[in-house]
Amino acid sequence: MASAAARRRQELAAEGQRHLEETIAAAFQILSSMNDELCNPALWSSSATAAAATAISQQPHPHHGPPPPLHSADSEAADALGGGSGGSGGSLDEARHRYKIAVAALRSSIAAVSPCTQEIASTESKGDQAEIERLEEHASSLRKEIESKNKHVKLLMDQLRDLISDISMWQSPCSV
């Protein structure tokens, strides 16, 4: 069961990685499309350009530089995640759509990982607990065996001491 759970976790990780890469590619496509649209005045909608020109003319201090972007980063992210405003060109809308799909797939992968992780953790903790108990029993058995062997070694050492003492006595000259 643990290997099936580990396999499932690897599959989910690979799927999540793939969805993350798709999300990043779609976000990059959004940025590229935005850059193309912002750098090409022909693609700017006339109403947004007129609104930008009105806003610039109403400012008390003259503003030098390019007109403000059509979409702020926050509204772009909101458009990409939750719908969009009518406006821009086809490539940006296509990129937004790809991004929405990739984000939804990534979110579902993340949601699938959470229960799998909990399942794996409970399986591993049960397996770990059983393994710990088995190892503790084995350690207890080894302690008892060591204690028994220590007693046997002590007995053999005492016998060896007696034997050495006997041999010493036999080798000593007798005085009669």
pLDDT 10s per residue in the chain (176 long)? 557 777 887 888 888 888 888 889 888 888 888 888 788 777 666 555 555 556 555 554 444 444 444 343 434 444 444 444 444 457 888 888 888 898 888 888 888 777 766 666 666 667 778 888 999 999 999 999 999 999 999 999 999 999 988 888 888 776 65
The answer to whether the beta carbons of residues 119 and 5 sit under 8 Å apart is yes
Backbone angles phi, psi at 65, to 5 degrees: 115, -175
> Does the pTM of the predicted model rise above 0.75?
no
The answer to whether the beta carbons of residues 123 and 1 sit under 8 Å apart is yes
